[in-house]
Structure 1
Amino acid sequence: MSLPDYDDNTAFLGDWGPFQRRVFVLLCLSIIPNGFTGLSTVFICDTPAHRCLIPSALNITDEWRNASIPLDENDENKDSRLSKCSRHRMDIVKNYSDRGLLPWVDVNVSAIPQEGCMDGWEYDKGTYISTIVTEVRILKELYNAVYLHIVK
């Protein structure tokens, strides 16, 4: 079985002329903005410093708000920083705050059990105002609102 010849099948288009050169150059120039698009992901996909969100509606004292994120020990530097993925259980923290107890004075905060970030995260806006990572919560809320609208 012989394959059809490409040149014979495209002969009706004509020779390589000024129109073909112009289209070729324009297509080549369109590659440049695509490179910038690829490089932009370095900035729009960055994960800024973050910690668990403590809802303002929880109505706890500032002392308990500051103590409700546990410290993670870094073995390499013997450095401590706020945990990015856990917080102390908010029902217990709220109870202590309502009773007027002070963290680390009346209560050993490290003994309070921990939980995941149930209410999302709080992001540092110092470097980036918005990234893909910080907008995930907004996208979930939008999805839920649209889904509830469709279901009703």
Structure 2
Amino acid sequence: MKFDDILVKLGEFGFYQKRLYLLLCLPAISVGSFMMSLVLTMETPKHRCKIPGLYNDSYQIQGAWHQDLINMTIPPPEHADLDDYSKCNIYVYPSNVTVGDHSRAVLTPCTEWVYDRSVFKTTFTTKINLVCDDSFWTSFAKMIFYLGVLVGDFLFGVLSDV
């Protein structure tokens, strides 16, 4: 007697089998969403340096005056076709230099950033500013997470068979 013959006698893929299959898929769906949550929470949105002294600075241009402030304090993009300003550096002008004279301005690393909030309102990366020199921490956190998943798979896979 063959396997197919046994299935015909027992009954083929009916209501009970479909229901059992759906119930077995539910945990797999939750595991998939758990694995994808890291992608969303550790996302780094577009950002640029915050203009010093401008308390309501935002990533979106608020007007011509805001565009002028950005052009004076943040290095422009290296290529004309890019619209992103420097993400990590800002111009600091000595007291004897005219604002806007970039040739004598000192390029210094940012200490505060503004983020594009059109896609994500807030992420873990934006809460603790894991950008520029600290951007490697997001990759490190993802690596540790997936290393834990790998170790857990082997450990709990063996324990579930005991």
TM-score norm. by structure 1 comes to 0.50
Higher radius of gyration, 1 or 2:
1
- Of structures 1 and 2, the one scoring higher in RCO (CA 8 A, sep 6+) is 1
